[in-house]
Amino acid sequence: MDIIELWSGSTKALVSIDGGWLTNVSDDYGDILFPKRQLTTEDGSKKQRGGCHICLPNFGPGGLSDQVQHGFGRQVIWEVGHKTQSEVTLELPHGDEEYPDLSSQLTYALDGNSIKMTLKVINNGSDSLRIAPGFHPYFATIDGEGQVSIDGERTDIQDLEDTVFHSGNDKTLKLDKRMITMHSDELTTWAAWSDHLGNYVCLEPTYAGYAFEDADDAPDDQLLHPDESRVYSVSITW
């Protein structure tokens, strides 16, 4: 079961165990997320874009941690732990070679015109682990959509090639065809971004933005201590 299908009313979500990737969410009015696909840049390189993926253990660059951009979570095969018609929990018993003692659970839960995404991490080792995760949703736009509104402020999509960060528990993203509202108690640094390869704009909830770029010692709130667990969640409503 490589692709898991979830339903709630007329809303459908597709989840891949490859990367734990939410590859699409749609309803009777079309796509909420830009469907995951491979796109080609001007220099001919291939990029995976669309849906929503976890950024684990880091959002953005890995800095001196040896982690790749957005971490290893989206690059590994997850196991199906529990599934209902509208909800699935994926499990990752171990991380990569830098995080062998990190176990993770990723839950996607549909509820009508909303979806809740939850990451739970547990440190099963004897050393503290640096964790500053995030989620990376690609919201579908229409052909020629040049501006979006974030919390009531109009922004040219063209200006989001350089990531713009926002803060707060709640965010509103107004598109030509959708009004998206988002909430998180833990992931309160939001990255607005688009690279213009397709019809999408991203508003990404993160724990601390590009935290791993900071080469200094990690603050305690980014350290997952032995036997400690943490939960990070975000809800998206349209």
In this prediction, residue 217 carries a pLDDT of: 83
pLDDT digits (tens, 9 = 90+) for 176-221: 999 999 999 999 999 999 998 999 999 999 999 999 998 778 999 9
**Cβ atoms within 10 Å of 17's Cβ, excluding its own:** 17
Report the length, in residues, of the chain.
Answer: 238
Q: Provide φ and ψ at 216, rounded to 5°.
A: -70, 170
**How many other CB atoms are there within 10 angstroms of residue 188's CB atom?**
18
Q: Which residues partner with 136 through β-bridges?
A: 53
Indicate the pLDDT class of residue 1, thresholds 50, 70 and 90: low
Q: How far apart are CA 70 and CA 63, in angstroms?
A: 11
**Mind listing the pLDDT tens digit for each residue in 36-81?**
999 998 888 999 999 999 999 999 999 989 899 999 999 999 999 9
- Burial of residue 237 (number of CB atoms within 10 Å: 0-12, 13-18, 19+): middle
- Structurally, the chain folds into a number of domains equal to 1
In the predicted model, what is the mean pLDDT of residues 86-109?
98
Q: How many CB atoms lie within 10 A of CB 40?
A: 10
Hey, CA dihedral for 44, 37, 28, 195, is it positive or negative?
A: negative
Terminal-to-terminal C-alpha distance of the chain = 28
Residue type, 95: G
Residue 216's pLDDT is 75
Range of the domain at 211: 3-237
DSSP 18: B
pLDDT of 214: 84
- C-alpha 190/C-alpha 59 separation (Å) is 11
Q: What is the per-residue pLDDT for 125?
A: 98
CATH number at residue 167: 2.70.98.10
